[in-house]
Amino acid sequence: MSKSISRRQLLQWSGLSSASLLLNSCGSNLWSKEVGQAIEPLNQATQALLLTQKPVPEYSLEQIEPDKLLINTFAQTPQIDPAKYRLQIEGEVNHPMQLSLNDLQTMPLTSMVIQHVCVEGWAAIVQWGGVRLQELLRLAQPKPNARYVYFKSADGYYESWDLVSATHPQTLMAYQKNGQSLSADNGAPLRLASPIKLGYKQSKWVTQIMLTNQLMPKTGYWEDRGYEWFGGL
């Protein structure tokens, strides 16, 4: 009987491991945009295959590392009034919608203790609480041609994911951290959290989710500066 292989092993064997493709700091660019574009179709296909494997193992509450989650932002932390906050879901969906923070908090709460991994080389075990993104998209009903999900943030940050990653059962729109309300520095009122993506893919202060049938020229804030697009673990 053959042994099952891990996500990381398959990435390494394919020559597409995070260590070989990703940057070791947020201010450097080791790969030209042209090289990234050339390998991206193979990278997407390989990493999409990995998503068919079982969910990423989670940690216990005792393993949470409250002091290790660093705060990274490329702009000033936006100040958002929770009472006025609205999450827009639009694009290639049958039911565009706007959801208040109260709407999100009345939906079933999902909590998970996972490791947040930054491309800069640090990691932290964190408990996130919120709503599964797949549940929000189920309500919006993606059209058959929807393939990608764009996230826009209140500070001007932008990101894009493939739809399969966005609907992974461990991808959350989180409004809690370690059992407490999310702080502004950590992305309140709402942020992405998932164990299947590197930290730069996990947008904070998300205000808009837009589904598209193709990647737009601007794929992500750091990706447009040379980072790998898929950003998977």
Q: Could you report the per-residue pLDDT of 23-62, keeping only the tens digit for each?
A: 333 333 444 344 444 445 555 555 555 555 568 999 999 9
pLDDT of residue 44: 58
Kindly state the percentage of the chain with pLDDT values over 90. 72
| Per-residue tokens: 13 | 């064997």
Name the nearest CA neighbour of 47 among 162, 181, 183, 137: 162
173-214 pLDDT, tens digit per residue, is 999 999 999 999 999 999 999 999 999 999 999 999 999 999
pLDDT of residue 71: 85
Question: Rounded distance, CA 88 to CA 185, Å?
Answer: 21
In one-letter notation, the amino acid at residue 68 is K
Pairing, β 148-153 against β 123-132: unpaired
**3-class DSSP assignment, residue 36:** helix
- Phi and psi at 169, nearest 5°, equal -65, -15
DSSP string, 75-141: SPPP---TTT-EEEEEESBSS-EEEEHHHHHTSPPEEEEEEEE-TTS-EEEEEEEEEEHHHHHHHH-
Kindly state the percentage of the chain with pLDDT values over 70. 76
Class (C level, CATH) for 57-222: alpha beta
Question: Rounded distance, CA 136 to CA 175, Å?
Answer: 14
